[in-house]
């Protein structure tokens, strides 16, 4: 059953047994100790929502919102960005982005005609894709690229985020974590150490649940992005070159990987090389 695969909290070495009430709602009996211990590890959060097994990812996904719901949520953000951030019609940028994005989107199994692709005039080293088929690429990151293969690296990564509804999963995780912490706060409200307990729980949920899933999403997007770009006819080995250049040019002070939503550059490049080897590509 999905609820067992997602994981549940433990109390006194006994696993709470989930059951369904007369209305079919999934429930589980948890003591206050279960709640506090489970929230610190992020496990109780999983009880609160249904999870589905994604065969391509090889794991369960906790989702309280669908891809269509996320697309509706993203629409407002996209329209707002379009109003605030100027776009460019320069064919040196627009033509290549439209060409590469169409091939990558098609390789991912989607219809390129259904996607809204825009190039934003900005020096930011950034690109993104939003639920509902929206791609934004900044001229700043394109100026750092040496070829279309490196652009396909970025677009494949972003399209993978959308295809596997990573934003919906993050939304679900964050929402459920917030609900769980509220429950814990109520459960411990009479404890003289309530504030300290909530600080520990908040840190535990962040480090033990939300951030690791964020890093997993990034590595999954890298992995499937490689497959999409290769299927689209681009050289996936250029992903290594791209990320090495990005790492070399990054002068910002980054937090330790444990405290980051993204994997370290070294981790990312190592995982890309392993995936390329599995795909039959030799890397130096």
Residue 78 has pLDDT above 70, yes or no: yes
Q: Indicate the pLDDT class of residue 123, thresholds 50, 70 and 90.
A: very high
Contact 213, 166 (CB under 8 A): no
Lowest mean pLDDT among 119-123, 228-232, 263-267: 263-267
Question: For the whole prediction, is pTM greater than 0.85?
Answer: no
Q: Indicate the pLDDT class of residue 254, thresholds 50, 70 and 90.
A: low
Q: What are phi and psi of 63, to 5 degrees?
A: -140, 120
| Spatial distance between the Cα atoms of 52 and 35, rounded to a whole number of angstroms | 23
Lowest mean pLDDT among 138-147, 156-165, 200-209: 200-209
Q: Indicate the pLDDT class of residue 211, thresholds 50, 70 and 90.
A: very low
pLDDT of residue 6: 41
pLDDT of residue 82: 92
Q: How far is CA 133 from the centre of its chain?
A: 16
Side-chain half-sphere exposure of 278, counting CA atoms within 13 A: 10
**Those residues with Cβ within 8 angstroms of residue 114's Cβ, 6 or more apart along the chain or in another chain:** 133
Q: Helix 265-278 crosses helix 211-231 at what angle (to 10 degrees)?
A: 40
Q: Indicate the pLDDT class of residue 171, thresholds 50, 70 and 90.
A: confident
Q: Which segments of 16-166 are extended strands (E)? A: 18-20, 26-28, 51-54, 59-62, 116-120, 127-130, 134-138
Lowest mean pLDDT among 37-41, 155-159, 167-171: 37-41
Q: Indicate the pLDDT class of residue 266, thresholds 50, 70 and 90.
A: confident
Greater confidence, 265 or 90? Answer: 90
Burial 84-117 (b: 16+ CB within 10 A, else e): eeebbeeeebbebbbebbbbbbbbbebebeebeb
- What would the mean pLDDT of 246-255 be, rounded to a whole number? 66
């Amino acid at each position: 059953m999905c609820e067992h695969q997602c994981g549940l909290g433990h109390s006194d070495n006994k696993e709470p047994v989930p059951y369904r009430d007369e209305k079919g709602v999934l429930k589980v009996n948890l003591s206050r100790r279960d709640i506090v211990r489970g929230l610190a590890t992020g496990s109780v959060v999983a009880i609160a929502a249904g999870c589905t097994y994604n065969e391509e990812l090889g794991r369960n996904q906790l989702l309280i919102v669908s891809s269509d719901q996320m697309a509706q949520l993203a629409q407002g953000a996209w329209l707002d960005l379009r109003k605030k951030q100027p776009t460019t019609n320069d064919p040196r940028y627009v033509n290549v982005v439209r060409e590469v994005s169409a091939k990558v989107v098609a390789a991912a199994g989607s219809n390129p005609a259904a996607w809204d692709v825009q190039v934003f005039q900005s020096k930011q080293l950034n690109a993104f894709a939003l639920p509902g088929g929206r791609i934004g690429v900044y001229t700043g990151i394109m100026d750092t690229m040496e070829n279309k293969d490196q652009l396909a690296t970025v677009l494949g990564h972003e399209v993978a985020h959308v295809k596997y509804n990573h934003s919906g999963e993050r939304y679900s995780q964050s929402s459920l974590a917030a609900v769980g912490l509220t429950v814990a706060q109520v459960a411990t409200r009479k404890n003289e150490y309530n504030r300290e307990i909530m600080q520990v729980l908040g840190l535990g949920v962040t480090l033990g649940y939300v951030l690791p899933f964020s890093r997993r999403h990034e590595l999954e997007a890298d992995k499937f992005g490689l497959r999409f770009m290769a299927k689209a006819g681009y050289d996936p080995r250029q992903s290594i070159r791209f990320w090495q250049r990005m790492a070399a040019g990054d002068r910002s002070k980054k937090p330790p990987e444990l405290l980051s939503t993204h994997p370290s550059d070294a981790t990312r490049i190592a995982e890309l090389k392993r995936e390329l080897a599995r795909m039959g590509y030799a890397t130096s």
